[in-house]
Every structure is written in structure tokens, then in C-alpha cells.
Amino acid sequence: MTAIAQSSARETSDFYNACSTNDIPQVKSYLSRMTLHEINRIEPNGSTALHAASYHNNAAVVYLLIQHGASVSIRSNSTNLTPYEETTSTYIKHLLTSTGNKAWIEWTFVDPLTRETKEIFDTALENTFHDMGLSFILNYLLNHYARGHAAKASSTSAKQIERYFEEAQVQTNLAPVITAYTAPSIFFFKIVSKHCIEVIPELLRIPFEPQNTLAASIFYLVAACNYDPMLRPKYAYIGHVYRGLRMSLDYFRTYKKNELIVNRPFVSTSKEYNVCDIFNGYGASSTFRRSYASQTSLEISVRCTYKIRRPETRAIDITKMSVFEHEQEVLLMPISVFRLVSIDVDANENVADIVLEDCDLPSKYDPIASMVRCDFAEFPNTLLVVPFMQV
């Protein structure tokens, strides 16, 4: 155990304590008025604030400290360790060795999304849907997305995907497209997710002008799913939904209470709690990747509970449109915003329960807003499992 984990009789500063406990608003407030010398101050326990944040795997704080010039090379007077040596997180090690930029871009927004930007984006989606109309959008998606980008992404499923879009065009109805999204054999949901993650950050840059047919396709698809009157209010959903994930334990530990989670792709959830365990590997931990040395699991089963209380979240109950009606699926729209309320881990069962509540984004005028993180499933592969490593 390092000195950071030990209780010290000598009192550490409020800034150090905020970095240790992942108190983002306090950390931002302090950083706005601190000198570089104060940021790199060695505390009575022999360590800097960056040591504390690294030790506790507080990725957001590590990022903020690096961006404000915190030194990554200072060694603790107590342990002779650098912040890099203090952390057990591979992702934080990436932050510490790449000045925070490359690694952070992979799992959060380069420019944090604000309430004002989202409001303008939502207005652009609504105006586009009403100006273009569903018939035009479905025709565009058939010709440019189904027959173009989706076909290139999966040649084996191209014809099946195209048939769903042809049916949607004939009926002037989004339901067949949503059905295609739920059909596991054609992997359309993976194609859409990949494209959303790829283009939505660019779409969020003002002015909202799609630069190519892929960006336009995703923009039209999101607009239709958000504002088609045949979907809403009839299928609008308010209540609790659940989601199961199998995650890298290292990546899981970087998420902290009170952070905001924003998804770029559509997110599938269920009204049935037990559906979580179908997707998170619970009960099958013997198949999880393990440390070479200790044989401890490198993965964890995660159950997410989403509390949807606001119509603005625009969740859609797609049970009747899904290939698997028994899964009681509810689809969250891209750029849905949730606050991470609690994280409870059962180490014996190797399972974590996460509770999230929908909320608004912070204003661009709020200098001490919570950190905005990308959704759990966006880094960097579907199962969120790091390559096998010797530990």
C-alpha cells in the first residue's frame, strides 16, 4: 500500500482532497485560480494532487490536472513513485504518457457537449424532419445508406438490410428500419453504432452541416427517430429500463459517481431487469479473461439501471417492432444524457450495479460543471475487453 492510501496525521490541502475524491466541480474551481507551482505542490504526505488522482484512478481529474500543466514526472517523497507508477489503470497510464489528448479523445468529447449546443442541435433535427419529411428521408436512406454505406460495411448482410429499407420506403414507416436494428443476424445495429460514433461529433459542430452522405444519413436517421409523429407520443417511454454489459475491469473503474454519460449511438435497453444478465456474462465469469500471474478476472459483469423521467430524453418503446418482442426493448436516442448516481460492486460475484438518472447538460457558462463522458459501450470495441495481457 502506498502512502496515499494511508491515513496521515498531517493534513492535506482541500485541493488535494478534492482530487482524491473525484470532486470535479471543486477541482475545476481550484484550478481556475491556482498557479502551476500550487498545482504541483508536494503535500505533507509527500505526494502531489496528481499522485492522488492517479492512485484512485480518477481519470477525469487526471485529465484536468494534465491540461493545467501538472507534472507527470514528480516522484512522491514517501514512495518514490511517479503518478504513472501509482495508478493501476491502463487508460490513465495512456493519459499520463500522451499529455492527455489521444487517449481522452477515444472516450469523451474533445469539446465537452453543452446544453446550448444540444438545444441548437435538437432544433436542427426537428426543422430538418419537418422540412424534408419522412418520405424524402427514407428514400435518401435507402439510396445512400442502405445501398451505400451499410452495404460497404457488411457485404454479407447488404441485401437483407436493403429489403428492410425498401419496405420502410413503400410503407413510409420507420418501423422496418427499427426492426432491422434489432435483427442480430445482419449486425445492422453494429453498423449504425459505428457510424454514429464516427460522425456525430462532427455533426455537433456549429453550424450543423453534414459534410458527406454518411453524415447526412445519420443526421436524417436521428431526426426521424426523434421527431416522427408515428413514433411519438405513442411509443414514448418514461420509467426504468435496464442494460447489461461485459466490461474491462480497468475501463469500468475509470467511471465515477456524478459524472455525466452521453451516448453517441442508439442504446438498447429493456423494461425487464433479468434481460441484463443475458448480455453481461453474469454467471459465466469462468470464460472472462484473467490475469496471467494472479488469475483474477480482468472483466466484470455490469447491470445498468436507467431512470427516465424527462420527455426530453426521448426513449422509444420498440417492443412491437423488435425481432425479439420478449426482450421488451426500449431504445435510447443518440445524445441522451444521464448522471451516474451510484456504483455498487459485488467483488465475490464479480458484478457491478450502476444507477443513472436522466438530466440536462451543463451550460457553457458553468465553469465547474461535471465531466461529460461517452457511453460505456464506446471504447473501443463491442465487449469493452482489453487485449490479453500479463499482469
If asked whether residues 220 and 126 sit together in one domain, one would say yes
If asked whether residues 350 and 369 sit together in one domain, one would say yes
Query: pLDDT (tens digit, 9 = 90+) per residue, 78-113?
Result: 999 999 999 988 878 888 886 444 444 444 544 678
For the chain, the straight-line distance linking the first and the last C-alpha, in angstroms and rounded, comes to 17
207 upstream amide cis, omega within 30 of 0: yes
Residue ending a domain, choose from 107, 129, 150? 107
Res 295 pLDDT > 70 = no
How many folded domains does the chain comprise? 3
Query: pLDDT (tens digit, 9 = 90+) per residue, 118-130?
Result: 999 999 999 999 9
* Domain annotation covers residue 43: yes
Provide the phi-psi class of 100: left if phi over 0, else alpha when psi is between -120 and 50, else beta.
left
* Domain annotation covers residue 314: yes
Query: pLDDT (tens digit, 9 = 90+) per residue, 278-290?
Result: 888 887 776 776 7
pLDDT at 96: 86
If asked whether residues 283 and 373 sit together in one domain, one would say yes
Q: For the domain that residue 14 is a member of, what is the CATH number? A: 1.25.40.20
* Domain annotation covers residue 385: no
Q: What angle do CA 324, 330, 334 make, to 5 degrees?
A: 120
If asked whether residues 287 and 215 sit together in one domain, one would say no
If asked whether residues 153 and 245 sit together in one domain, one would say no
How many whole angstroms separate alpha carbon 241 and alpha carbon 315?
Answer: 10
Confidence band (pLDDT; 50, 70, 90) for 385? Answer: very low
For the segment 155-163, the average pLDDT, to the nearest whole number, is 94
pLDDT at 109: 45
Residue ending a domain, choose from 107, 126, 145? 107
* Domain annotation covers residue 386: no
pLDDT at 108: 56
If asked whether residues 136 and 194 sit together in one domain, one would say yes
- How do strand 299-308 and strand 239-248 relate by DSSP bridges? antiparallel
If asked whether residues 211 and 332 sit together in one domain, one would say no
* Domain annotation covers residue 388: no
Q: Which of 49-58, 203-212, 231-240 has the lowest mean pLDDT?
A: 203-212
Confidence band (pLDDT; 50, 70, 90) for 10? Answer: low
* Domain annotation covers residue 290: yes
* Domain annotation covers residue 389: no
Amino acid at 110: V
Task: State the number of CA atoms in the 13 A half-sphere of 137 facing the CB.
Answer: 27
Q: For the domain that residue 348 is a member of, what is the CATH number? A: 3.90.176.10
pLDDT at 14: 96
Residue 332 is part of which domain span?
Answer: 239-378
Q: Which of 106-110, 314-318, 368-372 has the lowest mean pLDDT?
A: 106-110
Confidence band (pLDDT; 50, 70, 90) for 209? Answer: confident
For the segment 41-46, the average pLDDT, to the nearest whole number, is 95
* HEC-encoded secondary structure of the chain: CCHHHCCCCCCCCHHHHHHHHCCHHHHHHHHCCCCHHHHCCCCCCCCCHHHHHHHCCCHHHHHHHHHCCCCCCCCCCCCCCCHHHHCCCHHHHHHHHCCCHHHHHHHECCCCCCHHHHHHHHHHHHHHHHHHHHHHHHHHHHHHHHHHHHHHHCCCCHHHHHHHHHHHHHHCCCHHHHHHHHCHHHCHHHHHHHHHHHHHHHHCCCCCCCCCHHHHHHHHHHHHHHHCCCCCCCCECCEEEEEEEEEEHHHHCCCCCCCEEECCCCEEEECCHHHHHHHCCCCCHHHCCECCCCCCECEEEEEEEEEECCHHHCCEECHHHCCCHHHCEEEECCCCEEEEEEEEEECCCCEEEEEEEECCCCCCCCCCCCCEEECHHHCCCCCCCCCCCCC
* Domain annotation covers residue 73: yes
pTM: 0.81
Cell of 378: 464506446
Q: Which residues contact 89 (CB under 8 A, 6 or more apart)?
A: 57, 59, 250, 253, 254
Confidence band (pLDDT; 50, 70, 90) for 292? Answer: low
Residue ending a domain, choose from 180, 196, 227? 227
If asked whether residues 158 and 210 sit together in one domain, one would say yes
Q: Which of 14-28, 72-86, 240-254, 257-271 has the lowest mean pLDDT?
A: 240-254
If asked whether residues 203 and 152 sit together in one domain, one would say yes
Res 34 pLDDT > 80 = yes
233 upstream amide cis, omega within 30 of 0: yes
Res 8 pLDDT > 60 = no
For the segment 245-259, the average pLDDT, to the nearest whole number, is 86
